[in-house]
Protein backbone atom coordinates (compact mmCIF):
# COMPACT_ATOMS: atom_id res chain seq x y z
CA UNK A 1 0.00 0.00 0.00
CA UNK A 2 1.07 3.59 -0.50
CA UNK A 3 3.26 4.70 2.34
CA UNK A 4 5.17 7.87 3.07
CA UNK A 5 5.82 10.78 0.77
CA UNK A 6 9.50 11.39 0.10
CA UNK A 7 10.64 15.00 -0.18
CA UNK A 8 14.35 14.30 -0.69
CA UNK A 9 16.18 11.30 -2.11
CA UNK A 10 19.96 11.00 -2.03
CA UNK A 11 21.89 8.50 -4.14
CA UNK A 12 23.59 7.74 -7.45
CA UNK A 13 21.32 8.12 -10.47
CA UNK A 14 21.17 6.59 -13.93
CA UNK A 15 19.39 9.19 -16.04
CA UNK A 16 18.00 8.25 -19.46
CA UNK A 17 18.48 10.75 -22.26
CA UNK A 18 14.99 11.89 -23.32
CA UNK A 19 15.61 10.95 -26.97
CA UNK A 20 18.80 8.95 -27.54
CA UNK A 21 19.00 5.43 -26.10
CA UNK A 22 21.71 6.23 -23.57
CA UNK A 23 21.92 6.75 -19.82
CA UNK A 24 24.09 9.19 -17.85
CA UNK A 25 25.42 8.42 -14.38
CA UNK A 26 25.15 11.12 -11.73
CA UNK A 27 27.16 10.20 -8.63
CA UNK A 28 25.82 11.11 -5.20
CA UNK A 29 23.15 13.73 -5.80
CA UNK A 30 20.05 14.89 -3.93
CA UNK A 31 16.66 14.94 -5.64
CA UNK A 32 14.34 17.55 -4.18
CA UNK A 33 10.67 16.58 -4.66
CA UNK A 34 7.72 18.95 -4.19
CA UNK A 35 4.47 18.14 -2.38
CA UNK A 36 2.84 16.99 -5.65
CA UNK A 37 5.62 14.48 -6.35
CA UNK A 38 7.36 16.51 -9.07
CA UNK A 39 11.15 16.81 -9.12
CA UNK A 40 12.07 20.38 -8.20
CA UNK A 41 15.86 20.11 -8.45
CA UNK A 42 18.77 17.68 -8.57
CA UNK A 43 21.97 18.94 -6.90
CA UNK A 44 25.30 17.65 -5.83
CA UNK A 45 25.01 16.05 -2.39
CA UNK A 46 27.76 18.35 -1.07
CA UNK A 47 25.13 21.10 -0.99
CA UNK A 48 22.95 18.99 1.37
CA UNK A 49 25.32 17.60 4.05
CA UNK A 50 22.46 16.74 6.44
CA UNK A 51 20.72 14.37 3.99
CA UNK A 52 21.93 10.74 4.38
CA UNK A 53 22.00 8.33 1.40
CA UNK A 54 18.40 7.09 1.11
CA UNK A 55 19.16 3.53 0.03
CA UNK A 56 22.93 2.96 0.51
CA UNK A 57 24.48 0.50 -1.95
CA UNK A 58 21.89 1.08 -4.67
CA UNK A 59 21.62 2.91 -7.95
CA UNK A 60 18.43 4.87 -8.73
CA UNK A 61 16.67 4.82 -12.12
CA UNK A 62 13.30 6.06 -13.33
CA UNK A 63 10.73 3.37 -12.47
CA UNK A 64 10.37 0.51 -14.92
CA UNK A 65 7.54 0.69 -17.45
CA UNK A 66 5.82 -2.57 -18.33
CA UNK A 67 4.15 -1.83 -21.65
CA UNK A 68 2.18 -5.10 -21.77
CA UNK A 69 0.81 -7.27 -18.96
CA UNK A 70 -2.36 -9.27 -18.21
CA UNK A 71 -3.87 -8.77 -14.74
CA UNK A 72 -6.09 -11.93 -14.79
CA UNK A 73 -3.13 -14.19 -15.60
CA UNK A 74 -1.36 -13.48 -12.30
CA UNK A 75 -2.13 -16.93 -10.88
CA UNK A 76 -1.33 -18.93 -14.03
CA UNK A 77 2.12 -17.45 -14.55
CA UNK A 78 4.36 -20.17 -15.94
CA UNK A 79 1.60 -22.54 -17.12
CA UNK A 80 3.31 -24.46 -19.90
CA UNK A 81 0.49 -25.31 -22.31
CA UNK A 82 2.03 -25.03 -25.75
CA UNK A 83 1.85 -22.39 -28.46
CA UNK A 84 -0.39 -19.32 -28.28
CA UNK A 85 -3.82 -20.54 -29.38
CA UNK A 86 -3.64 -23.82 -27.38
CA UNK A 87 -2.30 -21.97 -24.34
CA UNK A 88 -5.23 -19.50 -24.51
CA UNK A 89 -7.79 -22.30 -24.60
CA UNK A 90 -6.17 -24.54 -21.99
CA UNK A 91 -4.61 -22.19 -19.44
CA UNK A 92 -5.90 -18.66 -19.96
CA UNK A 93 -9.62 -18.73 -20.66
CA UNK A 94 -10.56 -21.04 -17.73
CA UNK A 95 -8.65 -18.78 -15.34
CA UNK A 96 -10.01 -15.52 -16.82
CA UNK A 97 -13.55 -16.89 -16.37
CA UNK A 98 -13.00 -16.80 -12.59
CA UNK A 99 -12.91 -13.00 -12.73
CA UNK A 100 -16.69 -12.92 -12.98
CA UNK A 101 -16.48 -13.17 -9.20
CA UNK A 102 -15.63 -9.79 -7.67
CA UNK A 103 -14.05 -11.18 -4.53
CA UNK A 104 -11.63 -13.27 -6.55
CA UNK A 105 -10.76 -10.32 -8.79
CA UNK A 106 -10.17 -8.11 -5.75
CA UNK A 107 -7.74 -10.52 -4.11
CA UNK A 108 -5.78 -11.07 -7.35
CA UNK A 109 -5.66 -7.31 -8.04
CA UNK A 110 -3.84 -6.69 -4.76
CA UNK A 111 -1.40 -9.52 -5.49
CA UNK A 112 -0.85 -8.19 -9.03
CA UNK A 113 -0.09 -4.62 -7.94
CA UNK A 114 2.31 -5.70 -5.21
CA UNK A 115 4.11 -8.04 -7.61
CA UNK A 116 4.75 -5.19 -10.05
CA UNK A 117 5.96 -2.76 -7.39
CA UNK A 118 8.23 -5.45 -5.90
CA UNK A 119 10.04 -5.58 -9.26
CA UNK A 120 10.34 -1.81 -9.58
CA UNK A 121 7.55 -1.29 -12.08
CA UNK A 122 5.87 2.09 -11.67
CA UNK A 123 3.79 2.29 -14.89
CA UNK A 124 2.07 -0.39 -16.95
CA UNK A 125 -0.15 -1.09 -19.94
CA UNK A 126 -2.63 -3.58 -18.50
CA UNK A 127 -5.19 -5.96 -19.99
CA UNK A 128 -8.00 -6.82 -17.57
CA UNK A 129 -10.41 -9.69 -18.20
CA UNK A 130 -13.62 -9.11 -20.16
CA UNK A 131 -15.53 -8.53 -16.89
CA UNK A 132 -16.48 -4.92 -16.07
CA UNK A 133 -16.58 -5.61 -12.32
CA UNK A 134 -13.09 -7.15 -12.29
CA UNK A 135 -11.79 -4.22 -14.31
CA UNK A 136 -13.21 -1.80 -11.77
CA UNK A 137 -11.50 -3.81 -9.00
CA UNK A 138 -8.24 -3.54 -10.95
CA UNK A 139 -8.54 0.27 -11.08
CA UNK A 140 -9.35 0.41 -7.35
CA UNK A 141 -6.20 -1.60 -6.58
CA UNK A 142 -4.03 0.49 -8.92
CA UNK A 143 -5.32 3.58 -7.18
CA UNK A 144 -4.69 2.17 -3.69
CA UNK A 145 -1.22 0.85 -4.45
CA UNK A 146 -0.24 4.12 -6.17
CA UNK A 147 0.70 2.75 -9.61
CA UNK A 148 0.47 4.65 -12.89
CA UNK A 149 -1.33 2.80 -15.70
CA UNK A 150 -3.11 2.56 -18.99
CA UNK A 151 -5.61 -0.21 -18.28
CA UNK A 152 -8.60 -1.58 -20.10
CA UNK A 153 -11.49 -4.00 -20.19
CA UNK A 154 -10.44 -6.76 -22.59
CA UNK A 155 -12.85 -6.72 -25.53
CA UNK A 156 -13.75 -10.11 -26.99
CA UNK A 157 -17.05 -11.34 -28.36
CA UNK A 158 -15.96 -14.39 -30.35
CA UNK A 159 -13.41 -17.21 -30.52
CA UNK A 160 -13.50 -18.20 -26.83
CA UNK A 161 -15.80 -19.92 -24.31
CA UNK A 162 -19.01 -18.01 -23.52
CA UNK A 163 -17.97 -17.21 -19.95
CA UNK A 164 -15.11 -14.96 -21.12
CA UNK A 165 -17.02 -13.27 -23.94
CA UNK A 166 -18.93 -10.01 -23.64
CA UNK A 167 -21.33 -8.88 -26.39
CA UNK A 168 -20.75 -5.61 -28.19
CA UNK A 169 -23.40 -3.48 -26.55
CA UNK A 170 -22.74 -4.33 -22.87
CA UNK A 171 -18.98 -4.15 -23.51
CA UNK A 172 -19.18 -0.64 -24.92
CA UNK A 173 -21.57 0.50 -22.20
CA UNK A 174 -19.26 -0.88 -19.51
CA UNK A 175 -16.29 0.84 -21.14
CA UNK A 176 -18.15 4.18 -21.06
CA UNK A 177 -18.88 3.72 -17.35
CA UNK A 178 -15.26 2.81 -16.58
CA UNK A 179 -14.05 5.83 -18.56
CA UNK A 180 -16.38 8.12 -16.61
CA UNK A 181 -15.14 6.71 -13.31
CA UNK A 182 -11.42 6.24 -13.93
CA UNK A 183 -10.01 7.92 -17.04
CA UNK A 184 -7.73 10.77 -15.96
CA UNK A 185 -8.08 9.84 -12.27
CA UNK A 186 -5.64 11.41 -9.78
CA UNK A 187 -4.14 14.00 -12.11
CA UNK A 188 -4.08 11.57 -15.00
CA UNK A 189 -2.20 8.83 -13.13
CA UNK A 190 -4.77 6.27 -14.31
CA UNK A 191 -6.09 6.10 -17.86
CA UNK A 192 -8.66 3.87 -19.48
CA UNK A 193 -7.21 2.17 -22.56
CA UNK A 194 -9.31 0.62 -25.35
CA UNK A 195 -8.26 -3.04 -25.33
CA UNK A 196 -9.46 -5.37 -28.10
CA UNK A 197 -7.73 -8.69 -27.32
CA UNK A 198 -6.76 -9.19 -30.97
CA UNK A 199 -8.41 -9.12 -34.37
CA UNK A 200 -9.63 -12.73 -34.13
CA UNK A 201 -11.49 -12.10 -30.86
CA UNK A 202 -13.63 -9.11 -31.96
CA UNK A 203 -16.24 -8.92 -34.71
CA UNK A 204 -16.68 -5.92 -36.97
CA UNK A 205 -19.29 -4.19 -34.80
CA UNK A 206 -17.14 -4.45 -31.67
CA UNK A 207 -14.03 -3.20 -33.52
CA UNK A 208 -16.01 -0.25 -34.91
CA UNK A 209 -17.40 0.54 -31.47
CA UNK A 210 -13.92 0.33 -29.94
CA UNK A 211 -12.53 2.69 -32.56
CA UNK A 212 -15.37 5.14 -31.94
CA UNK A 213 -14.72 5.02 -28.19
CA UNK A 214 -11.00 5.73 -28.68
CA UNK A 215 -11.68 8.63 -31.01
CA UNK A 216 -14.40 10.30 -28.95
CA UNK A 217 -12.45 10.18 -25.68
CA UNK A 218 -8.90 10.53 -27.09
CA UNK A 219 -7.89 7.15 -25.63
CA UNK A 220 -4.93 4.87 -26.24
CA UNK A 221 -5.60 1.51 -27.91
CA UNK A 222 -3.64 -1.62 -26.94
CA UNK A 223 -3.81 -5.00 -28.63
CA UNK A 224 -1.74 -7.95 -29.91
CA UNK A 225 -0.15 -8.07 -33.35
CA UNK A 226 1.70 -10.76 -35.28
CA UNK A 227 2.69 -13.10 -32.47
CA UNK A 228 2.36 -16.65 -33.73
CA UNK A 229 2.31 -18.49 -37.09
CA UNK A 230 -1.08 -20.13 -36.59
CA UNK A 231 -2.60 -16.83 -35.40
CA UNK A 232 -1.25 -15.19 -38.58
CA UNK A 233 -2.77 -17.92 -40.74
CA UNK A 234 -6.18 -17.64 -39.05
CA UNK A 235 -6.12 -13.84 -39.21
CA UNK A 236 -5.32 -13.88 -42.93
CA UNK A 237 -8.21 -16.34 -43.46
CA UNK A 238 -10.63 -14.21 -41.40
CA UNK A 239 -9.67 -10.96 -43.15
CA UNK A 240 -9.05 -12.04 -46.78
CA UNK A 241 -9.48 -8.51 -48.15
CA UNK A 242 -6.62 -7.04 -46.10
CA UNK A 243 -3.09 -6.96 -47.47
CA UNK A 244 -1.55 -7.93 -44.13
CA UNK A 245 -2.22 -8.16 -40.37
CA UNK A 246 -1.45 -4.50 -39.66
CA UNK A 247 -3.92 -3.43 -42.36
CA UNK A 248 -6.75 -4.95 -40.30
CA UNK A 249 -5.99 -2.55 -37.45
CA UNK A 250 -5.29 0.34 -39.85
CA UNK A 251 -8.76 -0.15 -41.26
CA UNK A 252 -10.25 0.67 -37.85
CA UNK A 253 -7.96 3.65 -37.31
CA UNK A 254 -6.09 1.90 -34.50
CA UNK A 255 -2.57 2.56 -35.80
CA UNK A 256 -1.30 5.92 -34.57
CA UNK A 257 0.67 7.65 -31.86
CA UNK A 258 -1.93 6.59 -29.28
CA UNK A 259 -1.59 2.85 -29.90
CA UNK A 260 0.56 0.07 -28.58
CA UNK A 261 0.98 -3.33 -30.20
CA UNK A 262 2.35 -6.31 -28.32
CA UNK A 263 4.81 -8.74 -29.98
CA UNK A 264 5.17 -7.65 -33.65
CA UNK A 265 7.36 -10.69 -34.27
CA UNK A 266 6.55 -11.49 -37.88
CA UNK A 267 5.96 -8.03 -39.44
CA UNK A 268 7.06 -7.33 -43.00
CA UNK A 269 9.28 -4.35 -43.85
CA UNK A 270 6.19 -2.57 -45.15
CA UNK A 271 4.38 -3.12 -41.83
CA UNK A 272 7.40 -1.88 -39.86
CA UNK A 273 7.61 1.23 -42.04
CA UNK A 274 3.91 1.98 -41.52
CA UNK A 275 4.21 1.37 -37.75
CA UNK A 276 7.12 3.80 -37.53
CA UNK A 277 5.48 6.39 -39.77
CA UNK A 278 2.34 6.31 -37.61
CA UNK A 279 4.52 6.59 -34.47
CA UNK A 280 2.72 3.58 -33.02
CA UNK A 281 4.18 1.92 -29.91
CA UNK A 282 5.61 -1.59 -29.80
CA UNK A 283 5.60 -3.74 -26.66
CA UNK A 284 8.54 -6.11 -27.08
CA UNK A 285 7.89 -9.20 -24.90
CA UNK A 286 10.81 -11.59 -25.45
CA UNK A 287 10.37 -13.74 -22.33
CA UNK A 288 6.78 -14.52 -23.31
CA UNK A 289 7.89 -15.13 -26.88
CA UNK A 290 10.45 -17.70 -25.71
CA UNK A 291 7.93 -19.41 -23.41
CA UNK A 292 5.26 -19.83 -26.09
CA UNK A 293 7.81 -20.55 -28.83
CA UNK A 294 6.42 -17.62 -30.83
CA UNK A 295 9.74 -16.45 -32.30
CA UNK A 296 12.03 -13.47 -31.69
CA UNK A 297 11.06 -9.92 -32.65
CA UNK A 298 13.79 -8.24 -34.73
CA UNK A 299 14.55 -5.49 -32.22
CA UNK A 300 17.47 -3.88 -34.04
CA UNK A 301 15.48 -3.88 -37.28
CA UNK A 302 12.48 -2.30 -35.52
CA UNK A 303 14.69 0.42 -34.05
CA UNK A 304 16.31 0.85 -37.46
CA UNK A 305 12.87 1.60 -38.91
CA UNK A 306 12.36 4.21 -36.19
CA UNK A 307 9.70 2.26 -34.27
CA UNK A 308 8.81 3.41 -30.75
CA UNK A 309 9.69 0.38 -28.64
CA UNK A 310 9.14 -0.40 -24.96
CA UNK A 311 9.53 -3.69 -23.10
CA UNK A 312 6.69 -5.82 -21.75
CA UNK A 313 6.57 -8.80 -19.44
CA UNK A 314 3.36 -10.13 -21.04
CA UNK A 315 2.88 -11.93 -17.71
CA UNK A 316 1.31 -14.77 -17.63
CA UNK A 317 2.88 -15.98 -20.89
CA UNK A 318 5.89 -14.09 -19.62
CA UNK A 319 7.28 -15.85 -16.56
CA UNK A 320 8.17 -12.79 -14.55
CA UNK A 321 7.03 -9.35 -13.39
CA UNK A 322 10.64 -8.13 -13.68
CA UNK A 323 11.60 -5.75 -16.47
CA UNK A 324 15.23 -6.48 -15.61
CA UNK A 325 14.66 -10.11 -16.59
CA UNK A 326 12.73 -9.07 -19.70
CA UNK A 327 15.61 -6.80 -20.74
CA UNK A 328 17.93 -9.76 -20.23
CA UNK A 329 15.67 -11.92 -22.42
CA UNK A 330 15.65 -9.15 -25.06
CA UNK A 331 19.43 -9.34 -25.12
CA UNK A 332 19.22 -13.12 -25.63
CA UNK A 333 16.64 -12.68 -28.39
CA UNK A 334 18.96 -10.42 -30.37
CA UNK A 335 21.71 -13.03 -30.03
CA UNK A 336 19.37 -15.79 -31.21
CA UNK A 337 18.54 -13.69 -34.27
CA UNK A 338 22.22 -12.86 -34.75
CA UNK A 339 21.34 -9.21 -35.02
CA UNK A 340 22.66 -7.54 -31.85
CA UNK A 341 24.14 -5.11 -34.34
CA UNK A 342 21.93 -4.53 -37.36
CA UNK A 343 20.78 -1.70 -39.60
CA UNK A 344 23.15 0.66 -37.80
CA UNK A 345 21.44 -0.13 -34.47
CA UNK A 346 23.27 -1.73 -31.58
CA UNK A 347 21.35 -3.51 -28.86
CA UNK A 348 23.30 -3.21 -25.62
CA UNK A 349 22.44 -3.60 -21.92
CA UNK A 350 22.44 0.22 -21.73
CA UNK A 351 19.99 0.65 -24.62
CA UNK A 352 17.76 -2.10 -23.17
CA UNK A 353 17.62 -0.30 -19.80
CA UNK A 354 16.59 2.81 -21.73
CA UNK A 355 13.79 0.85 -23.42
CA UNK A 356 12.68 -0.55 -20.04
CA UNK A 357 12.33 2.97 -18.59
CA UNK A 358 12.24 5.91 -20.99
CA UNK A 359 11.20 3.90 -24.09
CA UNK A 360 8.22 2.41 -22.30
CA UNK A 361 7.14 5.76 -20.84
CA UNK A 362 7.08 7.28 -24.33
CA UNK A 363 5.26 4.28 -25.83
CA UNK A 364 2.53 4.44 -23.15
CA UNK A 365 2.07 8.20 -23.61
CA UNK A 366 3.57 9.13 -20.23
CA UNK A 367 6.83 10.46 -21.71
CA UNK A 368 6.08 14.08 -20.89
CA UNK A 369 6.06 13.32 -17.15
CA UNK A 370 8.07 10.15 -16.40
CA UNK A 371 10.90 8.00 -17.75
CA UNK A 372 13.52 10.61 -16.98
CA UNK A 373 15.05 12.18 -13.87
CA UNK A 374 15.17 15.96 -14.20
CA UNK A 375 13.33 18.99 -12.83
CA UNK A 376 9.72 19.02 -14.05
CA UNK A 377 9.41 15.21 -14.31
CA UNK A 378 7.37 13.35 -11.72
CA UNK A 379 9.44 11.33 -9.25
CA UNK A 380 8.83 7.72 -10.34
CA UNK A 381 11.94 5.90 -9.13
CA UNK A 382 13.39 2.47 -8.54
CA UNK A 383 16.40 1.79 -6.31
CA UNK A 384 18.34 -1.37 -7.22
CA UNK A 385 21.10 -3.09 -5.24
CA UNK A 386 24.53 -2.83 -6.85
CA UNK A 387 26.71 -5.89 -6.25
CA UNK A 388 29.71 -5.03 -4.11
CA UNK A 389 33.07 -4.29 -5.78
CA UNK A 390 31.48 -4.03 -9.21
CA UNK A 391 33.64 -2.21 -11.76
CA UNK A 392 31.82 0.85 -13.15
CA UNK A 393 31.91 -0.47 -16.70
CA UNK A 394 29.94 -3.57 -15.64
CA UNK A 395 27.05 -1.70 -14.01
CA UNK A 396 24.57 -2.09 -16.89
CA UNK A 397 25.47 -5.76 -17.28
CA UNK A 398 24.86 -6.33 -13.56
CA UNK A 399 21.46 -4.61 -13.64
CA UNK A 400 20.33 -6.87 -16.49
CA UNK A 401 22.03 -10.18 -15.87
CA UNK A 402 22.85 -10.59 -12.17
CA UNK A 403 19.38 -11.67 -11.19
CA UNK A 404 20.55 -13.09 -7.89
CA UNK A 405 22.08 -9.90 -6.54
CA UNK A 406 20.83 -6.79 -8.42
CA UNK A 407 17.49 -6.76 -6.59
CA UNK A 408 14.95 -3.99 -6.23
CA UNK A 409 15.21 -2.22 -2.87
CA UNK A 410 12.46 0.40 -3.23
CA UNK A 411 9.82 1.64 -5.67
CA UNK A 412 8.50 5.21 -5.71
CA UNK A 413 5.64 6.65 -7.78
CA UNK A 414 5.13 10.41 -7.86
CA UNK A 415 7.30 10.82 -4.76
CA UNK A 416 5.36 8.22 -2.75
CA UNK A 417 7.18 5.19 -1.44
CA UNK A 418 4.89 2.44 -2.76
CA UNK A 419 7.04 -0.56 -1.89
CA UNK A 420 10.35 -1.14 -0.13
CA UNK A 421 12.26 -4.04 1.34
CA UNK A 422 13.04 -1.94 4.41
CA UNK A 423 12.38 1.54 5.78
CA UNK A 424 14.53 4.14 3.99
CA UNK A 425 17.02 6.30 5.84
CA UNK A 426 15.45 9.69 6.46
CA UNK A 427 17.01 13.07 7.13
CA UNK A 428 16.84 14.93 10.45
ZN1 LIG B 1 -0.43 -10.34 -24.15
All domains of the chain, ordered by start, with CATH?
A: 8-62+372-420 (2.30.40.10), 64-85+109-128+144-363 (3.20.20.140)
Q: What is the 3-state secondary structure (H, E, C) of 58-107?
A: EEEEECEEEEEEEHHHHHHCCCCCCCHHHHHHHHHHHHHHHHHCHHHHHH
The CA 92 to ligand 1 mean position distance, Å, reads 11
Neighbours of 405 (CB within 10 A): 12
Nearest to 310 by CA among 24, 62, 12, 37: 62
**Per-residue pLDDT at 2 exceeds 60:** no
The CA 312 to ligand 1 mean position distance, Å, reads 9
What is the model's pLDDT at position 163?
A: 94
CA angle 236/237/238 to nearest 5° reads 95
The CA 295 to ligand 1 mean position distance, Å, reads 14
Residue with the bigger pLDDT between 80 and 198: it is: 198
The CA 316 to ligand 1 mean position distance, Å, reads 8
Which residues neighbour 294 within 8 Å (Cβ) at sequence distance 6 or greater? Answer: 83, 84, 227, 228, 263, 265, 288
Residue 255 in contact with residue 280, Cβ under 8 Å? Answer: yes
The CA 380 to ligand 1 mean position distance, Å, reads 25
Buried b (16+ CB within 10 A) or exposed e, 49-86: eebebbbeebbbbbbbbbbbbbbbbbebbebeeeebbe
pLDDT digits (tens, 9 = 90+) for 263-313: 999 999 999 999 999 999 999 999 999 999 999 999 999 999 999 999 999
3-state secondary structure of 24: strand
d(CA 354, CA 342): 18
- Its sign, for the CA torsion 314, 78, 156, 243, is positive
The CA 413 to ligand 1 mean position distance, Å, reads 24
What is the model's pLDDT at position 85?
A: 87
Which residues neighbour 88 within 8 Å (Cβ) at sequence distance 6 or greater? Answer: 160
Per-residue confidence band for 428, with pLDDT thresholds at 50, 70 and 90:
very low
The CA 95 to ligand 1 mean position distance, Å, reads 15
Please state whether beta strands 64-70 and 58-62 pair in parallel, antiparallel, or not at all (unpaired).
unpaired
pLDDT digits (tens, 9 = 90+) for 365-403: 999 999 999 999 999 999 999 998 899 899 999 999 999
The CA 426 to ligand 1 mean position distance, Å, reads 40
Per-residue confidence band for 81, with pLDDT thresholds at 50, 70 and 90:
confident
The CA 67 to ligand 1 mean position distance, Å, reads 10
The CA 54 to ligand 1 mean position distance, Å, reads 36
The CA 105 to ligand 1 mean position distance, Å, reads 19
Neighbours of 42 (CB within 10 A): 17
The CA 227 to ligand 1 mean position distance, Å, reads 9
d(CA 320, CA 313): 7
Residue 410 in contact with residue 426, Cβ under 8 Å? Answer: no
The CA 38 to ligand 1 mean position distance, Å, reads 32
Q: Is the previous residue joined to 316 through a cis bond, with omega within 30 degrees of 0?
A: yes
The CA 260 to ligand 1 mean position distance, Å, reads 11
Amino acid sequence: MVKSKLRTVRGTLLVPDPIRRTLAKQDDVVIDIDADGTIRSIDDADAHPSVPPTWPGTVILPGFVDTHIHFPQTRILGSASGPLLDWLQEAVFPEEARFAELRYARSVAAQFCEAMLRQGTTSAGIFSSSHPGATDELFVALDDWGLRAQAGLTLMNRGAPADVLLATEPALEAAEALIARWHGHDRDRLRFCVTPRFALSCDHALMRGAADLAERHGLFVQTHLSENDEELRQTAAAFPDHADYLAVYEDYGFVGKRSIFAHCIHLSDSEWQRMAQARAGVAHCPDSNFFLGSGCMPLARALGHGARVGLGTDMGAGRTFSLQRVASAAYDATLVRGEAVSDGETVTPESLLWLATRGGAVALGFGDRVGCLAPGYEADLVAIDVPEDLPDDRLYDALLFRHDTAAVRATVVRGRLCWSREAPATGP
